[in-house]
Chains A and B, each alone.
Chain A
């Protein structure tokens, strides 16, 4: 069965410093992996996706993630945090064999950005 573990429930960084949000997955197949962000009172917005092409994936707002099969990881990074990055971030997995596109979510990481 597939699953996702986000290793930190809360991450706090200072504005202008790097961001690292960690995610490990478990999947019997070659998974598709996603990062979603949720700002307060907003919907879940797709940041980036990995679907078996390049292992380093670039997303919106300067975020990127690297798929590492040997480590079963898909960590999200950004070189320099901005105040507007404060939000809840979800790592998500979907297996190609799923006929329905069902997504499996991690428990979420709250990113706090301090001035």
Chain B
């Protein structure tokens, strides 16, 4: 069964460093998402991406964050200058089409630890 793949599974970085979290969505899916979960808190929506542009972003998704689909398979989340409070589990998701865009398939997540 096709699945969403995220790498790395765990990323450790120093405060102020840039990190790139990588995701390979399910092939032929058209909608892409990033969510995050700070330890002990809810899973929160960060951003949705369709047709090579952001379609919606949350208040969390400030200028320090960016997303990109550099080729036909990868979908990345970049944090330019990490802060301690960026430590969280980051989930990538994809959905197939307009009709089923809220039926999302998730990866296993990348745990980001900012020291």
Contacts and interface: CB of A to CB of B under 8 A. Distances in A.
A101 B101 contact: yes
A94 interface: yes
A32 B109 CA distance: 24
Nearest to B45: A102
B106 A36 contact: yes
A102 B42 contact: no
Contacts, number: 64
B3 A100 contact: no
Contacts of A36: 106
B41 A107 contact: yes
B103 A46 contact: yes
Interface string B81-115: 00000000001010100000111111111000000
Interface of B: 3-4, 6, 9, 31, 33, 35, 41-45, 48, 50, 55-56, 91, 93, 95, 101-109
Interface of A: 32, 34, 36, 41-46, 49, 90, 94, 98-108
